[in-house]
Amino acid sequence: MARIRCYTDLRQIRDFKERYEYLKLQSEVGVATFGFERYLNQRFYTSVQWRSVRNEVIARDNGCDLGFRDHEIYDRVIIHHMNPMTIQSIASGDEAILDPEFLISVTHGTHNAIHYGDANLLVKPLIARRPGDTKLW
């Protein structure tokens, strides 16, 4: 049985890398998730209900990657389903796919890192410059 991930548990984790570890999946590149039923998730992602809950999640997470302070997202915000959405969950109207308890704001890189289980895809923190640094980059 798959582990159910939730925001309540995630916010108890105080380290960004540990939050990633909590959420990471072991998907493979090229494995079809919706296949010929792709129109279902595209219809879902353009719905009024999704757009509303998406805005709610971004506000709750203060526009930060994995809802982690000091990891602001300066590009497009992706809302990640902590528990993968399926054709059945859309077709049956599963309320969990619209529940903020099972959603989190992420960057594109973090989203890919979660799905492919590759921490190298996470955004690297910037190194602060200090007086006396001799290398420009």
3-state secondary structure of 80: strand
Answer yes or no: is 18 within a domain: no
Whether residue 33 is predicted with pLDDT greater than 70 in this model: the reply is no
Answer yes or no: is 39 within a domain: no
Whether residue 32 is predicted with pLDDT greater than 80 in this model: the reply is no
Whether residue 88 is predicted with pLDDT greater than 70 in this model: the reply is yes
Answer yes or no: is 81 within a domain: yes
The pTM of the full predicted model, rounded to 2 decimals, is 0.85
State percent of the chain over pLDDT 70. Answer: 89
Domain count, the chain: 1
Predicted confidence at residue 2, as pLDDT, reads 63
Residue identified by tokens 């105080």 is 14
Q: What is the pLDDT of residues 106-116, one digit of tens each?
A: 999 999 999 98
Sign of CA dihedral 75, 52, 67, 26: negative
Answer yes or no: is 84 within a domain: yes
Assign 38 a pLDDT band (cuts: 50, 70, 90): confident
Q: Which domain holds residue 87?
A: 52-121
Q: Are 72 and 63 in contact (CB under 8 A)?
A: yes
CA gyration radius for the chain?
Answer: 17
State percent of the chain over pLDDT 90. Answer: 62
Residue identified by tokens 């077709």 is 91
Answer yes or no: is 59 within a domain: yes
Answer yes or no: is 108 within a domain: yes
d(CA 57, CA 61): 6
Q: Are 96 and 83 in contact (CB under 8 A)?
A: yes
d(CA 86, CA 12): 27
